[in-house]
A and B are shown apart, each in its own frame.
Chain A
Amino acid sequence: MKILVPVKRVIDYNVKVRVKSDQTGVDLANVKMSMNPFDEIAIEEAIRLKEAGVAEEIIAVSIGPEKAQDQIRQALAMGADRGLLIKTDETVEPLAVAKLLKKVVEEESPELVILGKQAIDDDSNQTGQMLAALLDWPQGTFASKVEKKDGKLEVTREIDGGLQTIAINLPAVVTTDLRLNEPRYASLPNIMKAKKKPLDVKEIGDYGVDIAPRLEVVKVTEPPVREAGVKVESVAELVEKLKNEAGVI
């Protein structure tokens, strides 16, 4: 089968973001950008399915700025076969991303789309579920294990009480959780090879999807800061403070 893996260019998870003083957003100038970590897990899972003989082709797609080619190239270096960039400098909300991905699915006819469960910038946790809804496909979200069995997909999901295993028909949408796998690093030879793999660039306008935002960002502000606390010298002092100062035990 063919697997489609959407990847998003986001601020690196190690960067401490700063809110802009005009409250319009966070400062992205000169900060390190990377592939959303959950999407690396998605790419890795697709590659493992290919290595296991379950999948034949992996297409990495990104909706974002010109520079998102870096993230697609990373996916190609890890082992994806070809890439597609749908170019835009606008902020595209998850609903519009899902609509664009639906168009890509209609063109490419993959049997499986694997996405990260959330992007670590807007923390929305929506796109995979929305894509599944628009396609009327089943969804296996927050996956910690994915196996193809008897023509179906068995997905073990991380849920609040522990783990849940479901079987879903194909075609399907899967979203990744942290424990699904540990993504590989691309080797230098593979990074070189990835430069020659096909990467198609399209304009967002080519798809005829309305991407006008439904949510108007009124403002972006700093979260409330906690007052600096104190260091205690001993366990006895800690217990005393918790009892008499904080009154929590």
Chain B
Amino acid sequence: MAVLVVADVHGSSIDDSTHKTVSAALAIGGDVDILVAGENAGDAAAAAAKISGVRKVLHADDAAYGHRLAEPFADLIVSVASDYDAVLKAAATTGKNVMPRVAAKLDVMQISEIVAVEAPDTFVRPIYAGNAMQTVKSKDAKKVITVRATAFKAAEEGGSAEVVSVDAAGDPGVSEWLNENLTKSDRPELSGAKIVVSGGRALGSSEKFEEVIFPLADKLGAAVGASRAAVDAGYVPNDYQVGQTGKVVAPELYIAIGISGAIQHLAGMKDSKTIVAINKDEEAPIFQVADYGLVADLFKAVPELVDALG
């Protein structure tokens, strides 16, 4: 049996989600290979080869893969898929975009966002915003799977897999990358951060969000997250959204500030190790999942917390 992990490549490096997806692949069993596709992604391929437990790295280098456009990327994955019993990619936005396209081209029903491998054909995945866990057994000969990275430990470094070049699969030429407006921040990346400080609608404006949430995050070396309401209101960019339809995080410490705790928000953070909630409404549902709840006005409590942290 052989399993292919499609790496999350960013320029010359690979995201930690790749290491976590490798763990899921190893749990399925058999030989694990990694596909690194990108433009000038030689360094990323070399980084993938260092992940322990990996047999071989397939490296496809072409301008068509530089921006991870779904159409050429899916064609590439399909072109190498015949050698594998399962193809996995992290359930980040690229995986969510590309993998169902791969699955349909292979006439396979994708298994989305697995959180556990029960057997090589049986997986657990959250449904209904994580209010139920579904165990499914796939009847497809080939499995196409996206992996919730936070549910798996990162595979260790220390491997020395062989890197082989694979041919690009062409570009159907139906899509074109125009530009990207990426959030610039020196803070840790949200999905992998050890501590996350999130703000909600209660912050009231982007100025207040920055004034109140950012100093706490910086004091703790934390990533910043937000509820949908805070993103919709334009306090912070879209990629800060934590929840069912945003990012899923599972840090050591999650601090929810002025967030009510709607099920859609809980879906993205309730697997955090320790949860703190600061909310002025003692009935707010967020307190039902919080290890430590502080009923207080955030505009007073958060600056106090920053001071108390010294």
Chain A interface residues (CB < 8 Å from chain B) = 11, 13, 16-17, 19, 26, 38, 93-95, 98, 117-118, 120-134, 136-139, 141-142, 144, 154, 157-169, 177-179, 213-223, 226, 228-232, 234-236, 238-239, 241-242, 246, 248-249
User: CA A216 – CA B136 in complex, angstroms?
Assistant: 5
Indicate which residue in A93, A158, A223, A232 contacts B294 across the interface (CB closer than 8 Å): A232
Contact among B104, B127, B133 for A95, CB-based, below 8 A: B104
- Tell me which residues across on chain B come within 8 A of A167, comparing CB atoms: 175-176, 178
Complex CA distance for A108 and B109, rounded to whole angstroms? 25
CA–CA, A158 to B138, complex, Å? Answer: 30
Known: A215-B111, A215-B138, A232-B293. A139 touches B101 (CB 8 A): yes
The reply to whether A121 and B71 form a contact with Cβ atoms under 8 Å apart is no
**Cβ of B177 and Cβ of A164 under 8 Å apart?**
yes
**Stretch in B34-42, B155-163, B202-210, B236-244 touching the partner:** B236-244
Q: Which of A16, A94, A230, A246 contacts B100 (CB 8 A)?
A: A94
- Interface size counted on chain B using CB atoms at 8 A: 90
A249 to B255, CA, bound (A): 12
Distance in angstroms between the alpha carbons of A123 and B179 in the assembled complex: 29
Please tell me if the beta carbons of A162 and B183 are within 8 angstroms of each other in the complex.
yes
Which of A118, A220, A241 is B245 in contact with, Cβ under 8 Å? A118
Contacts A16-B263, A130-B103, A223-B126: A214 and B108 contacting too (C-beta < 8 A)?
A: yes
Q: Which chain A residues border B137 with CB–CB below 8 Å? A: 215-216, 218
Nearest chain B CB to A186 CB, angstrom units: 22
Chain A residue at minimal CB-CB distance from B273: A248
CB distance from A91 to the nearest CB of B (A): 12
Q: From known contacts A126-B112, A221-B132, infer whether A179 and B174 are also in contact, taking CB-CB under 8 Å.
A: no
A-contacting residues of B (Cβ < 8 Å)?
Answer: 67, 69-71, 74, 92-94, 96-105, 107-113, 122, 126-140, 172, 174-183, 191, 195, 220, 228, 231-232, 237-239, 241, 244-245, 247, 252-253, 263-264, 270, 273-276, 282, 287-296, 301, 304-305, 308-309
Measured between C-beta atoms, what is the minimum distance from A177 to chain B in Å? 8
**Interface residue from B97, B107, B109, B180 paired with A162 (Cβ < 8 Å):** B180
Asked if residues A160 and B93 are in contact (CB atoms below 8 Å), the reply is yes
Cβ–Cβ < 8 Å partners of A159 in chain B: 93-94, 180, 239
Q: B270 to chain A: closest CB distance in Å?
A: 7
Specify which chain B residues have a CB less than 8 angstroms from the CB of A220 in the assembled complex: 127, 132-135
Decide if B183 touches A138 in the complex (CB within 8 Å).
no
A219 to chain B: closest residue by CB? B135
